Chains A and B, each alone.
Chain A
């Protein structure tokens, strides 16, 4: 099995697909943390909300309607959250933030149960992306390749924005030292809002693309939260490179662990996380220094 090239190609693609999904989630969370020092445990709930919006709209507007509108809806929810909860808790310390967003998870899970019920909702893969394609000798679902491509394009766009544009330079300045950035005339408050909303939109996008491959359930936000947190802790809170590295490490360790060492697979990633925490408590590629 392990000597077959097809096996490695297949598992590599699986790992990449998981990594890209996690990247979409963790990049928003980590940049929000880097900039605002805010930990949003409800980030997974935003992802679940995105999946529900996509699943609901798929019935009337088709898949692409949901795909485009889910990030918008989640961004709108994020904007509301920002002005009601997030902004006032920004300087309240990590425990208050953890508690408020933990309370939000409770509310979000029950709200989705109330609106959409307890039963899983499934949506169909759009016709364009349905089916399989031959790639290096293996048959691979087109939709999963689409997730990989989407993740890579978001990564490319974010990298360009952060490194080549003025707003990117402002964000980098804010991560480095938000007070100094404010002194230099950057409207830090507006930037915080913008980054938070974009982070939420990416979580919604992740929910929308995940909806056809995973079943949409009220606790899907809780299930994805821990992997997302692991990704940003391994990678280093606040850094884009860290989110990329963390997502790839998680995706590959999880996927290859599950097929090569099935008895150890889930402990493996936590052992890796513990090793990172012991040797480099700030993560592999921290935002600062």
Chain B
């Protein structure tokens, strides 16, 4: 079950304070990176909600992000909505799409679940890729940023946009945490541990899974809106299954099922990506090697590692010591 331990709260406070301070101190390049981190952070929070707590390892979250981005752009450009209603519409639509996907996939577990989500993600990808309404391979441009001039904020400024992105991450985190602490979240964790028992207790398993998937989908859609507003250009590549795979990598490297860990993972991943790709064009290989090393060593990710060390130090030392190298 999800609880806010002192360590988690401290880490959250440090991340929040650090990113806000950075948002006010950084130059243009730093702000772009910050926005990129925020988009990935929302996506991995969404993924950790279902994968880390519900055991539903999804390979369609990239596609859900893409659906959110496309829905937002089309609603704003074609239907003439302003940014805020378009965002709400896009998030609602992504969520409404995630619910049936979750309901169908809820019947399968393990590798079948992964394959089923992959199939739905690819379906969305090829639909967007082929449909003339969505510009096909060329993508769409011109997604607007919300107009907050009423309160004197200009989001075309990259500093204001970075702060806005951080606030959206905070919102996504609060939604995920609230979900996990609700009855639904407790059922979800229970399902992960023992589905038969929860079924025997009278829970409608598919509905709980699908609802959690819909909430996660809404968050992924929010990440998509932010992605569309950030670059103001979207292409079918956003829906590619490798985006989902990368999100899963970030969740694992950060610490599956901790909600705080994936946030750290997103920061590390984007920063490392920019640092390594400045040195070598083969940064994917390095990420791949790190990933293989982490999974093979069974290390619980960066935050999981810190958490294990922390509890070992604060509580009485127990027989087993975690000796995993992250």
Q: Which residues of A contact B (CB under 8 A)?
A: 33, 37, 39, 85, 88-89, 92-100, 102-107, 109-111, 113-114, 222, 226, 229-230, 233, 237, 263, 265-267, 270-271, 273-274, 277-278, 281-282
Q: Which residues of A contact B119 (CB under 8 A)?
A: 230, 233, 270, 273-274, 277
In Å, the complex CA distance between A89 and B111 comes to: 14
Residue of A96, A102, A114, A266 with highest tally of chain B CB at under 10 A:
A102
Q: Which of B105, B123, B282 contacts A270 (CB 8 A)?
A: B123
For the complex, would chain A's binding face be called helix, strand, loop or mixed by DSSP majority?
A: helix
* Residues in B102-130 with C-beta less than 8 Å from chain A: 104-105, 107-108, 110-112, 114-116, 118-120, 122-123, 126-127, 129-130
B245 at the binding interface (Cβ < 8 Å): yes
- Are A103 and B282 closer than 8 Å at their CB atoms? no
Q: Provide 13 A-B residue pairs closer than 8 Å at the C-beta atoms, listed in order of the A residue.
A: A94-B110, A95-B51, A98-B57, A98-B248, A100-B291, A102-B245, A102-B288, A103-B295, A237-B111, A270-B120, A270-B126, A274-B104, A277-B104
- Are A110 and B110 closer than 8 Å at their CB atoms? no
Knowing A277-B104, A278-B104, say if A39 contacts B126 (CB, 8 Å): no
> In the complex, what residue of chain B is closest to A264 when comparing beta carbons?
B130
Knowing A110-B288, A267-B123, say if A102 contacts B57 (CB, 8 Å): no
Q: Which residues of A contact B249 (CB under 8 A)?
A: 99, 102-103
A271 to chain B, nearest CB (A): 7
B15 at the binding interface (Cβ < 8 Å): no
- Are A109 and B284 closer than 8 Å at their CB atoms? yes
B287 at the binding interface (Cβ < 8 Å): yes
Interface size class of B (residues with CB under 8 A): 35 or more
- Are B57 and A89 closer than 8 Å at their CB atoms? no
A259 to chain B, nearest CB (A): 15
> In the complex, what residue of chain A is closest to B252 when comparing beta carbons?
A99
Residue of B57, B115, B116 with highest tally of chain A CB at under 10 A:
B115
In Å, the complex CA distance between A88 and B112 comes to: 21
- Are A99 and B291 closer than 8 Å at their CB atoms? yes
- Are A103 and B242 closer than 8 Å at their CB atoms? no
A25 to chain B, nearest CB (A): 16
Q: Which residues of A contact B107 (CB under 8 A)?
A: 281
In Å, the complex CA distance between A102 and B253 comes to: 13
> In the complex, what residue of chain B is closest to A265 when comparing beta carbons?
B130
B200 at the binding interface (Cβ < 8 Å): no
In Å, the complex CA distance between A92 and B296 comes to: 9
B63 to chain A, nearest CB (A): 11
In Å, the complex CA distance between A113 and B281 comes to: 10
Knowing A114-B282, A270-B126, say if A107 contacts B288 (CB, 8 Å): yes
Q: Which of A102, A110, A267 contacts B127 (CB 8 A)?
A: A267
- Are B288 and A39 closer than 8 Å at their CB atoms? no
Q: Which residues of B contact A263 (CB under 8 A)?
A: 130
Q: Which of A37, A95, A230, A282 contacts B57 (CB 8 A)?
A: A95
B111 to chain A, nearest CB (A): 4
- Are B289 and A107 closer than 8 Å at their CB atoms? yes
Q: Which residues of B contact A226 (CB under 8 A)?
A: 118, 122, 241
Knowing A99-B249, A103-B291, A277-B104, say if A229 contacts B115 (CB, 8 Å): yes
Q: Which of A94, A99, A274 contacts B123 (CB 8 A)?
A: A274
Q: Which residues of B contact A95 (CB under 8 A)?
A: 51, 57, 114
- Are A106 and B284 closer than 8 Å at their CB atoms? yes
Task: Mark interface residues in B220-257 (1 if CB within 8 Å of A CB, else 0).
Answer: 00000000000000000000011001001100100000
In Å, the complex CA distance between A271 and B122 comes to: 10
Knowing A103-B291, A266-B126, say if A110 contacts B104 (CB, 8 Å): no
- Are B285 and A110 closer than 8 Å at their CB atoms? yes
Q: Which residues of A contact B292 (CB under 8 A)?
A: 85, 100, 103-104, 107
In Å, the complex CA distance between A178 and B300 comes to: 30
Q: Which of A37, A98, A103 contacts B288 (CB 8 A)?
A: A103
- Are B288 and A105 closer than 8 Å at their CB atoms? yes
Q: Which residues of B contact A93 (CB under 8 A)?
A: 110
A39-B111, A99-B252 are known; give 20 further A-B pairs, CB within 8 A.
A33-B111, A89-B296, A92-B295, A95-B57, A95-B114, A98-B111, A100-B291, A102-B248, A103-B249, A106-B287, A107-B288, A237-B112, A270-B120, A270-B122, A270-B123, A274-B104, A274-B120, A277-B116, A281-B108, A281-B112
Task: Mark interface residues in B127-150 (1 if CB within 8 Å of A CB, else 0).
Answer: 101100000000000000000000
Knowing A233-B119, A267-B130, A271-B123, say if A106 contacts B291 (CB, 8 Å): yes
In Å, the complex CA distance between A182 and B48 comes to: 38
Task: Mark interface residues in B252-270 (1 if CB within 8 Å of A CB, else 0).
Answer: 1000000000000000000
In Å, the complex CA distance between A85 and B245 comes to: 19
In Å, the complex CA distance between A61 and B287 comes to: 36
Q: Which residues of B contact A229 (CB under 8 A)?
A: 115, 118
Knowing A85-B296, A277-B104, say if A266 contacts B116 (CB, 8 Å): no
B143 to chain A, nearest CB (A): 24
A210 to chain B, nearest CB (A): 21
In Å, the complex CA distance between A111 and B130 comes to: 31
Residue of A93, A105, A267, A271 with highest tally of chain B CB at under 10 A:
A267
Knowing A110-B284, A274-B104, A274-B123, say if A100 contacts B289 (CB, 8 Å): no
In Å, the complex CA distance between A109 and B127 comes to: 26
Knowing A99-B248, A102-B249, A277-B116, say if A266 contacts B129 (CB, 8 Å): yes
A7 to chain B, nearest CB (A): 23
Q: Which of B115, B130, B298 contacts A266 (CB 8 A)?
A: B130
B101 to chain A, nearest CB (A): 9
